[in-house]
Every structure is written in C-alpha cells, then in structure tokens.
Amino acid sequence: MRQVDADRIVERAHRETGLDRFESQSFREGLDIVVSDVNKADWPEWGLTHVEDTAAHLLGLRLKIDDYLRQHPEALEVPVKAPVIVMGIPRTGTTLSSNLLGADPNRRSLLSWVADDPVPPPATDKLHTDPRALAALEAERRSRAEDPAAARFYMASAIFPSECISVLSQDFKSMHWEALGRLPAYSEWIWSADMTSAYDHHRRFLQVLQHAAPGPWNLKMPSHAMHIRYVLKAYPDARLVWTHRDPYTAVGSICSVIANVHLRTQDTPDEAWLGELYPRQLAEHARRIMQVRAEIGHDRVYDLHYASTMRDAVGTMRDLYAWLGDEFTPQVEGAMTRWLQENPQGKWGKHAYKLDRYGLTKEFLEPLFADYLANYDVEAEG
C-alpha cells in the first residue's frame, strides 16, 4: 500500500527549488503529524498525490523566503507596523470585509497570486500587472469558463486579498491541513500547538513582500481567532477586526465549503466528520476571542457585523476607518463602491447548504453558541 513520506516531500522541495537550506526546521513536527494521519486515512492515490504536491510547493515557498532574506537581510530591519487583521468565526464576512479594505489603493494586501508566488516580491506598481499576476488571471479565466459554479464559495481572484492560511501552512500549523479530511491527531494537535514559529514565519513572509511594496497591511484569516494570543505576540500593535454573523448559518456554510475541499483528497466528503468537528471548531473561534478580549480590553477589537455590511457596505467601512484612525477619502470610497458594483453577491452562483446534511440541527448547536449570542447582538438569518 502506497504511503506518503515526509522525507521525500522535503527532498522534493529542495530539488524543485534548487535551494538547500531552511532557516528553521520548525515545520517538521506538523508535517510528521499530517503525514501520519494521511497514511491512516485510506485515501485514493490521487488524494495522496494532492497532499504531496501541496506540501512540497508550500515548503518550496518557505525555502524561497528564507533564501531571499539571506540575500537581503535589511528587509528584516523594517517591522510590520499596526496591521489590520480581520478574523472571526469562518463564513461571517471576513472575505467581503478584506476585499473592501483591499480596494483601498493605500493599503497593502496579501494578494492571492503573490501568496502563491512571492519571490521575487513585486513592486507596488506591478501588483496587478506583473507577468505572474497576468498568468494567474488567465488561468483563473479558463477555470471559470470550464466551471463557473466552482467560484460560488468565495469572492476570490488572483488580484484580490488572500487568507494568511497558506503562509502559516508553510510551518504546517494551520487549519488548511485539518480541512483536507478526517485527520484526528492533527486536529487535536493544532488546537493547542505553540504557534510562535508559524507567526515568526508569517512576519518574515510579510517583510519580504514589503521590501518591494511597502504599505499598511490588510490581513485576513478567520482562524487568526484560534491563535489570537500568538497574533498579539507577533504583532503587539495589531488592529483586530472581528466579523459577526448568525453562527447557525456559518456552521452550515463552513461544512459545505470543507465538503468541497474533501473532494481534493477523497471521492466523497466525510459528512459525519464535518458535523462532528466544525460546530466545535467554530464555537472555539468565538470563545478564544472573548477570553482574550476580556484580558486586553474590549476596545482593542472592533466588531464588524455582516448584516450591517450587507445593508450598507460603504457606510460600515466608513465607521471602521473611524475606529482605525485612518482617513476615509473620496478616493477610498470610490474604489470600494466600484469593487461592489463589479462584484455583486452571487456573481459566480449561489452557495446553498443545509445543516441536516451533516447530521446537525439548530437545537444541537444552541448550547455551543449560547455564550457568544448572549454577549453579542448578532442578527438571526433564519
């Protein structure tokens, strides 16, 4: 029976990049746990190949970041200052909020194509026109022509902001690996893992990118909520934005999204596992923010409600900018308005989902989110 081998993945990353030195082997613990779980999962060969391809690619990106910083050590002398970090329960509007912030030409976002091909880092005037960006856009165009509905889960593009999850995955400490399928040992480990090395790499990654294109960072990943203490350790001056939405809607949505991710590694989604894992995981996102917020002060986190954003996106962003202390200029408002006009909700199809597909009911979920809903006035969606 074929097995995934961690050493071969590392060797492949070295071979494909032509680079021979990591600054740290901190990724190895998570890699070994992922590989051990995958080898017990009874996935088809093409699922194992997906894991190997993804792991080797991400380790290759890490090698390139480390090599760039050896050649340009001065990049490490410039700190990442006061990043705006959007987080929260998954499927609560983090993508929409980040896309609106990303429309501001004065901000620097982790664009999807850059996250996937960061070295050499593009200059500010090439963020949308670099040959790598144009190639990614063309690949995106062909993919959508073949299957338009595949884009229904996220308002995503090569030149839109991406999540930080791919960066943390290069240290093998992220919810990305947990999403591939039933990997119970990794799921148990990642919830309590020491994320220091992952956020150290995250900061180095941003320092490489801002070496060529500086600017205040707009960052987004729902599961920053799971690691909020490490976020604040890495970025003590971070400006934290918490998105809120009906958690019962969010649970159904995330189960549907991750069911689609499962199809990268197996013939059918493991719906029983989705129903077991994700309600607890989403509730933990909220619990950890509430716990840390009680310690650092309520005003350190901004509450951004999905319902308000859907009713008046520009007005909601104006209020956020006031809290951030950033200027909401006519140029910024115009850019956000154009983005909304060009990217209406449902542009790539409707995302439909039901809780009962995963063996879930609202009554089952209520105890998990009771404390959250008692503390936050979140609009019910029915």
**Closest C-alpha to 188, from 56, 30, 6:** 30
Give the model's pLDDT for residue 154: 53
DSSP-derived pairing of the beta strands 84-88 and 217-220: parallel
pLDDT digits (tens, 9 = 90+) for 51-71: 999 999 999 999 999 999 999
Q: What is the mean pLDDT of residues 113-138?
A: 96
Kindly state the DSSP code that residue 300 receives in the 8-state scheme.
G
Q: Is residue 290 scored above 90 in pLDDT?
A: yes
pLDDT digits (tens, 9 = 90+) for 202-245: 999 999 999 999 989 999 999 999 999 999 999 999 999 999 99
Kindly state the DSSP code that residue 223 receives in the 8-state scheme.
G
State percent of the chain over pLDDT 90.
91
Give the model's pLDDT for residue 262: 97
Q: What is the mean pLDDT of residues 114-135?
A: 96
Local confidence band at 148 (pLDDT 50, 70, 90 cut-offs): low
Q: Which of 97-101, 189-193, 378-382 has the lowest mean pLDDT?
A: 378-382
H helices of the chain, in order, are 6-17, 28-38, 45-71, 94-102, 112-116, 131-146, 165-169, 175-178, 184-190, 196-212, 228-234, 247-262, 271-296, 306-311, 313-324, 330-342, 362-375
pLDDT digits (tens, 9 = 90+) for 240-288: 999 999 999 999 999 999 999 999 999 999 999 999 999 999 999 999 9
Q: Which of 14-28, 106-120, 140-154 has the lowest mean pLDDT?
A: 140-154
Local confidence band at 145 (pLDDT 50, 70, 90 cut-offs): confident
Domain residue ranges of the chain, discontinuous segments joined by +: 83-375
Q: Is residue 354 scored above 90 in pLDDT?
A: no
CATH code, 83-375: 3.40.50.300
Give the model's pLDDT for residue 210: 97
275: left (phi over 0), alpha (psi -120 to 50) or beta: alpha
State percent of the chain over pLDDT 70.
96
For 237, counting Cβ atoms within 10 Å of its Cβ (0-12 exposed, 13-18 middle, 19+ buried), the class is exposed
Local confidence band at 37 (pLDDT 50, 70, 90 cut-offs): very high
Q: Is residue 303 scored above 60 in pLDDT?
A: yes
Give the model's pLDDT for residue 345: 76
Give the model's pLDDT for residue 146: 75
Euclidean distance between CA atoms 219 and 97, whole angstroms: 10
Helices 28-38 and 45-71: crossing angle, nearest 10°? Answer: 170
**Closest C-alpha to 309, from 336, 347, 282:** 336
Local confidence band at 153 (pLDDT 50, 70, 90 cut-offs): low
What is the pTM assigned to this prediction? Answer: 0.94
Give the model's pLDDT for residue 266: 96
Give the model's pLDDT for residue 2: 87
Gyration radius of the chain over CA positions: 20
